Amino acid sequence: MLRRLFAPRPVEGIERGIPVSIVSMTDVVKSYPSAQKGGAPVVAIDGVTLEVERGDVYGIIGYSGAGKSTLVRLVNGLEKATSGSIVVNGTEITSLPERSMRAVRGDIGMIFQQFNLFNSKTVARNVAYPLEVAGRSSAEVTARVAEMLAFVGLSDKAKNYPDQLSGGQKQRVGIARALATSPSLLLADEATSALDPETTSEVLSLLARVNRELGVTIILITHEMDVIRSLATKVAVMDGGRIVERGDVFDVFSQPENAASARFVSTVVQGIPSPVEVATLKARHEGRIVTFSFRDGNASQAQVFLDLAAAGIRFELVYGGINDIRGRAFGHLTLALTGDDAAIDSVLARIATHSEVTEVSR
Ligand code: ADP
């Protein structure tokens, strides 16, 4: 029953392996007038091009003020782009009148950091709300509310009020409400940022089911790298209104190319010593401190040790960690190397031909 009502709509092209975008942004700029008279406008989005394909869980990450929320508000038409093109579900929305925008919005669900539930309505009435606004019959509303509450595991809370629920339960009501009208796209703006770690992982598992079982595409805005690591399939890193890096989550986490992404990644990736830790390592260990990075369990880790031993370099493992992202592993091992400097230089050059080598201190 659940599956039938939720069955993702057939999408032309998918069965032929052609990627189909649900959101397609091209050269989008959004600027706001300056708060000061005559001041320069605030450019919140500065030339963003982004394709989100059906079925993606697309994470948008960036520090506060990077432009993430503005990006989401552009997708659901709460803000109009200053220039550029935004196509949602095949409709160009940049110059769409508000009346037509409502139809586009009907296919987009949204959840928020502060849940945005009606405190004066019961859980069931909160979930019923978008269905009533959409003019569904009361029999249909009743059936759908029951189905949604069962999906999020809150059937027994139907008659409770939001104030009687925990944060995680409130967000589950938020998800039930957002999905009541069977949208194909869910926008999640810092949806787990107000939750403790355990509740966060419950909500993330629910969102993973929303994507996998219901076929809903999710755009996930967060400043929490861990959320991206556990849920997203693709990620875009925003900085100063631009997308500075994007791609497969494993690639961006294991080998960030942009300095801002690297800063984010280093906060959650195991095994990269911070500058303070490097100083401690240097004080504690003799020799040159070198980090070797490995991806996907290739043979190069064993080769590093073989190469060092063959060159007569003594090594000691001083720092390290292995990370798992959706079943793929990468890691960083930091060694203190002692021996002849020229021999170390030459072996590091050799190792650099098959592994990533970063000398962090010498
Ligand atoms: P984030 O969600 O990444 O924290 P925002 O999208 O909220 O970033 O904001 C991006 C930039 O745009 C910030 O500099 C912010 O101050 C500015 N901004 C956002 N909304 C408005 C607005 N309505 N008026 C003026 N400036 C805004």
State the pLDDT at residue 297. 61
Q: Which residues form the pocket of ligand 1, taking CB atoms under 6 Å from any ligand atom?
A: 32, 42, 44, 62, 64-70
Q: What are phi and psi of 47, to 5 degrees?
A: 80, 60
Residue whose Cα lies nearest atom 18 of ligand 1: it is 44
**DSSP letter for each residue of 306-325:** HHHHHTT-EEEEEEEEEEEE
CA 263 to chain CA mean position, Å: 16
Pocket test for ligand 1, best of 29, 36, 42, 64 (most atoms within 8 A of CB): 42
Cα(218)–Cα(185) distance, rounded to whole angstroms? 6
First to last CA, the chain: 64
- Say yes or no to pLDDT of 12 above 70: no
Biggest distance spanned by C-alpha atoms of the chain: 81
- The model's confidence at residue 322, banded by pLDDT at 50, 70 and 90, is confident
Q: What are phi and psi of 45, to 5 degrees?
A: -125, 125
Strands 57-61 and 217-222: parallel
- The model's confidence at residue 98, banded by pLDDT at 50, 70 and 90, is confident
CA 55 to ligand 1 center in whole angstroms: 28
Q: Are 1 and 7 in contact (CB under 8 A)?
A: no
pTM to 2 decimal places: 0.84
User: What percent of the chain is modeled with pLDDT above 90?
Assistant: 65
Q: Are 180 and 110 in contact (CB under 8 A)?
A: no
State the pLDDT at residue 123. 97
Residue whose Cα lies nearest atom 5 of ligand 1: it is 67
Q: Are 228 and 59 in contact (CB under 8 A)?
A: yes
Cα(69)–Cα(64) distance, rounded to whole angstroms? 9
Task: Return the higher-pLDDT residue of 28 and 102.
Answer: 28
Go through 57-69 and write b for each residue having 16 or more CB atoms within 10 A of its CB, e for each that does not: bbbbbbeeebbbb
CA 132 to ligand 1 center in whole angstroms: 32
pLDDT winner (highest mean) among 37-41, 171-175, 289-293, 328-332: 171-175
Residue whose Cα lies nearest atom 7 of ligand 1: it is 69
- Say yes or no to pLDDT of 18 above 60: no
Strand runs (DSSP E) across 65-184, as ranges?
A: 83-88, 91-92, 108-112
Pocket test for ligand 1, best of 32, 71, 190, 222 (most atoms within 8 A of CB): 32
Number of other CB atoms surrounding residue 293 within 10 Å: 20
- The model's confidence at residue 272, banded by pLDDT at 50, 70 and 90, is confident
Instruction: Encode pLDDT of 207-260 as tens digits.
Output: 999 999 999 999 999 988 888 888 999 999 999 999 999 999 999 988 888 888
Domains and CATH numbers, the chain: 21-266 (3.40.50.300), 275-361 (3.30.70.260)
Task: Return the higher-pLDDT residue of 63 and 93.
Answer: 93
State the pLDDT at residue 43. 95
Beta-carbon contacts of residue 78 (< 8 Å; ≥ 6 apart): none
Structural tokens at position 49: 């091009």
- Say yes or no to pLDDT of 329 above 80: yes
CA 90 to chain CA mean position, Å: 24
- Say yes or no to pLDDT of 358 above 50: yes
Pocket test for ligand 1, best of 69, 70, 76, 220 (most atoms within 8 A of CB): 70
Q: E strand or H helix at 51, and its extent?
A: strand 42-53
- The model's confidence at residue 37, banded by pLDDT at 50, 70 and 90, is confident
Cα(308)–Cα(352) distance, rounded to whole angstroms? 12
Cα(271)–Cα(292) distance, rounded to whole angstroms? 10
